[in-house]
Structure 1
Amino acid sequence: MTAVPPWDAFTATEAEVRAMVADPRWQGLSVPDRAHVLAARILVTPDGDRWLFGAHARWHLHDPADGRWLLAPPPRRLRARRVGHTAAVLPDAVVPHGYDFHAEPGSTQSFIGPDVPEGLTEQVRRLVRASGTKSELDYPLTAFGEIFASDVPSTVAAVWGTVMWCAYAPAFDGNERLITVFGEYLCRPLPGDEWVRWLPAPPLLDLATLVAERLRAGRPRAALRLAAVMADTAQILLLDTRFRPRALALLTMVEPMLRQAEIGEPYDDDAALRQAWLERCPARLCRALLVENDLDEHFSHALYDLVDALSFMPDPREAAAAFLADLSDSKGALPGRLDHRLRMAYEELRRAGLTGTSAGEATEPEGFPVRGGVSVAPAPVLEVAPPDRASAAAVLGAAYATGQAWERLTGAKMPERGLAGQTALVRRIVHERDDQHHTGHT
Structure 2
Amino acid sequence: MARVHQWDGFAAIEGDMRAMVADPRWAQLSGPAKAQAVAARTVVTPDGGRWLFGAHARWYRQDPADGRWHLSPPPADQNLRAAAHVVQHTAMLVPSLVPDGPDFAFEGGSTQGFVGPDVPRDITERVRAILGSRRLPSPEDFPIKGAPFTSIFAGDVPSTVAAVWGTLMWCAYAPAFDGNEVLLSMFGEFLGRALPGDEWVRWLRPVGLGDLVALYAERIRADRPKAGLRLAALMANTADAILDDDRFRPRAEALVAMLEPALRRPDLDHAAARQGDPAVRRAWLDRCPPHLARAVVPETAPGEHFAHSVYDLIEALGYLSRRRSDPRAVAVALLAADVAALAPKAAPRLYPWLDPELRHLLHATLTDRGHPLRRFWPVDGDLPPALHPPDRGTAATLLGTAYATGLAWCRLCEVAVPPHGFVTASATVSRLTHQRDDRYPLTTLESS
TM-score normalized with structure 1 length:
0.89
Aligned partners of 1:384 and 1:425 also within 8 Å = no
2:355 partner amino acid:
D
- Percent identity among equivalent residues? 51
Q: C-alpha displacement at 1:109, in angstroms?
A: 0.8
Cα pair distance change 1:21/1:86, threshold 3 Å? same
**Counterpart position of 1:55:** 55
Q: d(CA) in 1 for partners of 2:217 and 2:69? A: 40
Which residues of 2 match residues 368-383 of structure 1 at below 5 A? none
- 266-275 vs 141-150, greater mean Cα deviation: 266-275
The answer as to 2:287 corresponding to 1:268 is no
- In structure 1, the partner of 2:357 is 341
Partner of 2:375: none
Equivalences for residues 188-337 of structure 1 within 5 A: 188-260=193-265, 262=267, 264-265=270-271, 266-313=273-320, 314-325=325-336, 326-327=338-339, 328-331=343-346, 332-337=348-353
- Report the alpha carbon displacement of residue 377 of structure 1 after superposing the two structures with TM: 7.3
- CA drift at 1:122: 0.6
Q: Of 182, 187, 192, which residue of structure 1 is paired with 2:192?
A: 187
TM-superposed CA distance for 1:248, in Å, is 0.7
Paired with 2:26 and 2:187, the residues of 1 have a C-alpha distance of: 48
> Which residues of structure 1 form unaligned runs of 5+?
356-375
Paired AA for residue 334 in structure 2: F
Query: Which position in structure 2 is the counterpart of 1:37?
Result: 37
The count of aligned residue pairs is 421
Q: From the superposition, tell whether residues 193 and 377 of structure 1 become closer, same or farther in structure 2 (CA, over 3 Å).
A: farther
Structure 2 gaps, min length 5:
372-378
- Do 2:144 and 2:159's aligned partners in 1 also have CA atoms closer than 8 Å? yes
Question: 1:318 deviation in Å?
Answer: 2.3
Which position in structure 1 is the counterpart of 2:367? 351
**2:68 is aligned with what amino acid?**
R
Distance in 1 of aligned mates of 2:233 and 2:200: 33
Alpha carbons 1:381, 1:421 under 8 Å: kept: no
The alignment partner of 1:70 has SS state of strand
Deviation string, structure 1 residues 280-324 (Cα, Å, up to 9, x no partner): 112221101111111111111111111111111121122211221
Q: Are the counterparts in 2 of residues 131 and 153 from structure 1 also a CA contact under 8 Å? A: no
Q: Please, what is the CA RMSD of the aligned residues?
A: 2.3
Answer yes or no: is the 8 Å Cα contact 1:205–1:274 preserved in 2. yes
2:175: which partner in 1?
Answer: 170
Amino acid at match of 2:264: R
| Native 8 Å contact 1:132 1:155 kept in 2 | no
Contact 2:45 2:85 in 1 (8 A): no
Measured in 2, the distance between the counterparts of 1:26 and 1:324 equals 38
Deviations 1:365-386, CA, capped at 9 Å, x for gaps? xxxxxxxxxxx97777896211
Counterpart CA distance in 1 for 2:94 and 2:187 is 47
Which residue in 2 is equivalent to 1:396? 399
Equivalent position SS for 2:334: helix
What is the letter of the counterpart of residue 163 of structure 2? A
Of stretches 22-31 and 227-236 in structure 1, the one that deviates more from structure 2 is 22-31
**How far is 1:76 from its partner?**
2.7
- How far is 1:45 from its partner? 2.8
AA partner of residue 5 (structure 1): Q
| Distance (Å, rounded) in 1 between the aligned partners of 2:436 and 2:384 | 25
Letter in 2 for 1:299: F
Which amino acid counterpart does residue 331 of structure 2 have in structure 1? A
How much has 1:52 moved relative to structure 2?
Answer: 1.3
User: Match of 1:53, SS?
Assistant: strand
Q: Does structure 1 retain, via aligned residues, the 8 Å contact 2:157–2:190?
A: yes
Query: What secondary structure sits across from 1:145 in the alignment?
Result: helix
Aligned pairs (5 A) from 1:47-126: 47-78=47-78, 79-88=82-91, 90-126=93-129
1:210-249 per-position Cα deviation (integer Å, ceiling 9, x unaligned): 1111111111111111110001001011111111111111
Q: Give the TM-score of the pair, scaled to structure 2.
A: 0.88
For residues 388 and 133 of structure 1, the distance between their equivalents in structure 2, rounded to whole angstroms, comes to 43
Report what 2:438 is aligned to.
Answer: 435
1:132 and 1:156 in contact (8 A); partners too:
no
2:27 corresponds to: 27
User: Is the Cα–Cα contact under 8 Å of residues 75 and 328 in structure 2 kept in the other structure?
Assistant: no
Give the partner amino acid of 1:19.
A
Q: Please state whether the residue corresponding to 2:202 is helix, strand or coil.
A: strand
CA positional deviation for 1:253:
1.1
Amino acid at match of 2:209: L
